[in-house]
Amino acid sequence: MNSTHDNANDDQDWTPVVMKRRKPTATGAAGYQSQNRGAGSSHLRIVEESDVPLPPPKRLSAAGKTAIIQGRLAKKWSQDQLNAACNLPPKTINAIEAGRAQPSGAQLNAIARALGVVLKFE
């Protein structure tokens, strides 16, 4: 063997880089925020520290759920057929009608258009 190529790493002109994972700190996300506070962060701090409760998100009213059920039954559609007509994942209408899921605005618009009903929020 040629003595110049005995060790393949002899020809390399770079040094290896070792990446190490940092250990998590006890401060967690709060420590991250405190390190990166900028000029506009005083507003965020006020919102985080305020005692004013946020309003609850708008939910589909019981009348809206009833309107979905009645509209679906008026068209003689199953829940699966309404899911397909609205291009929604399986079991979505079931979860909405049972009150287990809160539909997005886009989902509600698709349902209302497919059934021809008006949906109300609480």
- Residue 9 has a pLDDT of 58
- Confidence check: pLDDT of 22 > 90: no
- Confidence check: pLDDT of 55 > 80: no
Give 68's pLDDT tier (boundaries 50, 70, 90): very high
- Confidence check: pLDDT of 46 > 70: no
| Separation of alpha carbons 17 and 11, rounded Å | 17
- Residue 106 has a pLDDT of 87
- Confidence check: pLDDT of 60 > 70: yes
| Separation of alpha carbons 115 and 74, rounded Å | 9
- Residues β-bridged to residue 121: 60
Average pLDDT over residues 102-106: 86
The overall average pLDDT reported for the chain is: 75
pLDDT over 70, % of the chain = 60
Least confident span in 5-14, 31-40, 68-77: 31-40
Q: In sequence order, which residues have a C-beta less than 8 Å from that of residue 96 and are 6 or more positions away?
A: 60, 65, 68, 103, 107, 111
